[in-house]
Amino acid sequence: MLNQLLTINAFTYLLVFSRVGATVMLMPGIGEAYIPVRVRLLFALMTTAVLTPVLTSALPDIPNTFAGVAVLIAGEATIGFFIGMVARILLMGLATAGTVIAFLTGFASAVVFNPALQDQGSLTAVFLTLLGTLLLFITDMHHIMLMGVYDSYTLFVPGVAPPIADFAQFISRLVAGSFKIGVQIAAPFIVVALLFYISLGLLARLMPQFQVFFVALPLQIMVGTFVLMLTISSAMMWFLTYFAREFSRFLG
């Protein structure tokens, strides 16, 4: 009897860990590559230990075959990967906004290492991505992500095949929405850059002997920095509202 009880408990923890661990490995802030793997693993194990007692009744019985166990765990990992990818794509809207802003403000050549994406990115893209990740924790948005993992057991019942087609359709719409929010955040810079370049064109026509490009780049950086200072708070509030609205789809 004790052996059976221990086996069932181990299977229950493993099943919950499959979904929680896959989500944590992609969750913004917690699943970043610069976070040590042991820290991420410990966080996933602790979250699993908290969620398992309240989710035991929602979990299916242990299959009789190894293939059944493997398929069940693979399905849970797929759902967890989907939830973590949703949070990651929502955050990437800030990277899109930062890239557009960099091209419009003269920071496109200022390339630094982006720890969130593990590649090279523009200065404004890295700044907005890290700032957005920080604000997610300051405003307790990570609680929404953890609540989404818990409530996902109501939306995606364990033991039922994940709706892969719906996942793909939702991700495609989410990528489009993330790109849209990035362009909307960069909209003030697009308007200012348009007016700035029109002014430079008129100045070049009126004074052909004047070296416009020697003056344009420093002035472009100054104007872009000033506009960023004016709009950064509103842009971050807009992003947080968008993140909470989209991720709340997982909440019961």
- In this predicted model, what pLDDT tens digit does every residue of 66-114 receive, in sequence order? 788 888 888 888 988 998 898 888 888 888 898 889 888 877 777 777 6
> How many other C-beta atoms can be found within 10 angstroms of the C-beta atom of residue 33?
12
With bands split at pLDDT 50, 70 and 90, how would you rate the model's confidence at 51?
confident
Q: What percent of the chain has pLDDT over 90?
A: 6
- State the pLDDT confidence band at 5, using cuts at 50, 70 and 90: very low
pLDDT band at 2 (very low <50, low <70, confident <90, very high): very low
Cβ neighbours of residue 112 under 8 Å, at least 6 residues apart? 120, 121, 122, 123, 126
Domain with 76, as residue range(s), is: 2-250
Q: How many CA atoms lie within 13 A of 85 on its CB side?
A: 14
User: For residue 30, which amino acid is it?
Assistant: I
Task: Output the pLDDT for position 24.
Answer: 87
Q: Give me the number of domains the chain comprises.
A: 1
pLDDT bracket for residue 115 (50, 70, 90): low
Distance of alpha carbon 185 from alpha carbon 100, whole angstroms = 9
Instruction: Return the number of other C-beta atoms located less than 10 Å from residue 149's C-beta.
Output: 22
Render pLDDT for 122-150 as a digit per residue (tens, 0 to 9): 788 888 988 988 898 898 888 888 888 88
Asked if residue 19 lies in contact with residue 152, where contact means CB atoms within 8 angstroms, the answer is: yes
How far apart (Å, rounded) are the C-alpha atoms in residues 188 and 175?
22
